[in-house]
Structure 1
């Protein structure tokens, strides 16, 4: 029955993607990548939260709480709470810059602002380095969901099917198709998380016989290096969240600055689902035996408390969450490969080149998932250290600080290098997130007054004023 329900949901999602194609009068490159910059606030809201609250919300968040304790929840929820007000103010400005430069990809904004093709290619490679592990993580999450559905006997076949579905979303309607599918995904995922959470609350109350209130595990606050890590991660992730390549391009699809701002107002409402995931995790910690794989904790609780058809709907929602992000990530990577890194490949047939690049990425990511998933999980941590370093470039663009592309690129590479080196070497940082240290080093370079003075002199010389 689980397979039938999930299969029906997948077919329904393909129908939604097909509807997006029908409603698009033409499928140009701009339609494929940024939905003609025509999404109203409600559709932008659905698209953006569909990408932000991905498969990690239903798999990784409960797994992190289960494996690392409550300190994981503090910084995970804390940076989201900080990111939304930051996005409210910077989101419209990001959209304005993308519109000004007529950019369909993130490197096009950077290259046209700094007037440097070389810098555009440099940032494109950096974006790809940040996005590849993020797309890979979706495959890893999809594999966990398939395992809980009893499809672990042939993982490669199941993941290959997921890759085909993700490509179908891209081919049918590009980013607009993701928006239509996101409606279905959101309904199922919210239903699944709420159902498991409510069932966990009711069962815990029933099992706690003789107590007037629900008993939960103690919640000691983080202290020492754990507290420092939580605070530094909240600052680092919260400030840089909307500047990273996995999130920023979705803002390009909005109809106007006002649409971005209105969508941002309602973003925090989605966080109402996290308390249900917390209750489900607490139930597992208190009443279920230890699990060797924390990634399956949510669905293990679901299978214990809910009837099979409800578990199937929750699994279908998780699958759609991973497929949506996988499709959007592969589309972004393909766009940068064919428009910014090797534009000659897509000059004659841009849509065909993008589709071929999507297929190439999905195949390589599929092989990596089946061969070396643990290595890619480590790479996922490193991808964040690269992705949020782009915050310095956006600071330069939004403030108009005059810096040459060489200095901007030096700051980007230095920040990523410092963060990755600290992480890989295990150097003592007093609990401070290595990414925050890297970002501070990055900003210290690009905002150095010495570079500004030289840039101003150079700009005046170019304008024949000196």
Structure 2
């Protein structure tokens, strides 16, 4: 770390956030016995403002803010597909989350797998939803750390060798301690800080970049020249199906992630979630500003290392801003990783505790015992994420995250369709899940961990193809299972 002012600003931002995280429990002290809904969902009491910050902070991760400008820098127009899917995501959240909240509250569900168990009276379907959520989330936690490490390394704030790894571990240890004590309330407090920092950083850096580079027209002209034959700021028509299915599949998959549903279940009510969803496009706008910074990095002639396009914007920030300001921006990006990582660890802990440990190993567990187990599982989840970072190649974590997105979408029929219809049979949904999981995994791995696959003359998102197989199998088998005498259970949420 050879830039003392930048380092000081970075430490100040991260230190202040850590103090607030540990103080989270003091904002809501009550003399009640511990219970999982209190630790994992903050007693379902968050209002519209906190819910908006927490949902946005969980969905728009630090890795997203690094990857989107990296994609724009490396591929041009195709890199902006996350903007399309987050626009589609907002109405999906508006429709699904309030209904899921009401269904979960009416059944006493703490996790989405609890709701599936109550809806279909199927321990098997509950288990696959829970385990799919855990498997899809673990590499997602690791990616937050990888994104922060790449950003800080590019900014000259990450010491080489064991010293840097120790620093990253120390930052994560503070998060682990705060979450262990306060559960979801710790990331809820940090999410407010994240929102303020990320919004301020986006507007500030874009303003400086556009001003220094001569305006928007000069930025886009320069980027077009840099991309040349290798890409373009206009999307190739042949990629339209891939772009559309990536956007649609991602918009349907994201609300199925445990950390998003955990943040949603912590809201005070359906109205709170609707108001938060209506205001969610503000986060998309900020993500677009970060994507614009990828284009600005092209126009500025930033030379990112081959295969590491995500560091282009951190390099641009280091070149454009004074030391103090750049350190504060890098601190904001680091804080951006803490919120989703903490919520993910809480979600994984709740799923494992409620839907694996209690359901199959300790059905007589007291509420206090549930909380104790969940706390330790959340801690182990963070340790496992660090093991991902230090023990595997970065590409391995990215590949696992790609598979995670494919897998989590296969829970959509069991979770979402059951809210609106009693037609689907639990055994058919289980068979459809299995078919979708196998199809998606085989297609992705056979293609070299690619996100798109050729179906005839068009390229489509692998997860959407797998979901189509999932739904087809479930729809084909439902009438047969129903005729076999096994009743459909439950009612729409």
- Provide TM-score, normalisation by structure 2: 0.87
Unaligned runs of 5+ in 2: 225-231, 448-452
Q: 5 Å matches for 1:127-138?
A: 127-138=133-144
Q: Is the counterpart of residue 436 in structure 1 residue 464 in structure 2?
A: yes
Verify the 8 A CA contact 1:169 1:327 in the aligned structure 2. Answer: no
Instruction: Provide the residue aligned with 1:141 in structure 2.
Output: 147
2:397 aligned to 353, 362, 376, which one?
A: 376
Change (3 A) 1:403 1:273: closer
Instruction: Provide the residue aligned with 1:84 in structure 2.
Output: 90
Change (3 A) 1:134 1:277: same
Q: Indicate the RMSD between aligned Cα atoms, in angstroms.
A: 2.4
In 2: Cα distance, 1:186 partner to 1:376 partner = 26
Comparing 23-32 with 297-306, greater Cα deviation is found at: 23-32
Q: Is the counterpart of residue 330 in structure 1 residue 345 in structure 2?
A: yes
Q: Is the counterpart of residue 170 in structure 1 residue 191 in structure 2?
A: no
1:452 aligned to 479, 482, 487, which one?
A: 479
Q: CA deviation at 1:408?
A: 1.4
Q: 5 Å matches for 1:298-377?
A: 298-343=313-358, 344=361, 347=365, 349-372=369-392, 373-377=394-398
Comparing 317-326 with 337-346, greater Cα deviation is found at: 337-346
2:121 aligned to 115, 125, 149, which one?
A: 115
Q: Is the counterpart of residue 36 in structure 1 residue 62 in structure 2?
A: no
User: Cα deviation per residue 1:232-276 (whole Å; 9 max; x = unaligned)?
Assistant: 112222233323334222211111111111111100022222343
In 1: Cα distance, 2:260 partner to 2:164 partner = 29
User: Cα deviation per residue 1:294-328 (whole Å; 9 max; x = unaligned)?
Assistant: 12111111111111111111111111111111111
Secondary structure in structure 1 of the residue aligned to 2:267: coil
Verify the 8 A CA contact 1:204 1:214 in the aligned structure 2. Answer: no
Unaligned runs of 5+ in 1: none
2:421 aligned to 368, 375, 400, which one?
A: 400
Verify the 8 A CA contact 1:47 1:250 in the aligned structure 2. Answer: yes
In 2: Cα distance, 1:45 partner to 1:138 partner = 20
Q: CA deviation at 1:12?
A: 2.0
In 2: Cα distance, 1:246 partner to 1:124 partner = 12
Comparing 343-352 with 384-393, greater Cα deviation is found at: 343-352
User: Cα deviation per residue 1:217-242 (whole Å; 9 max; x = unaligned)?
Assistant: 33542224422210111222223332
Secondary structure in structure 2 of the residue aligned to 1:378: helix
Counting matched residue pairs gives 458
Instruction: Provide the residue aligned with 2:229 in structure 1.
Output: none
Q: Is the counterpart of residue 191 in structure 1 residue 200 in structure 2?
A: yes
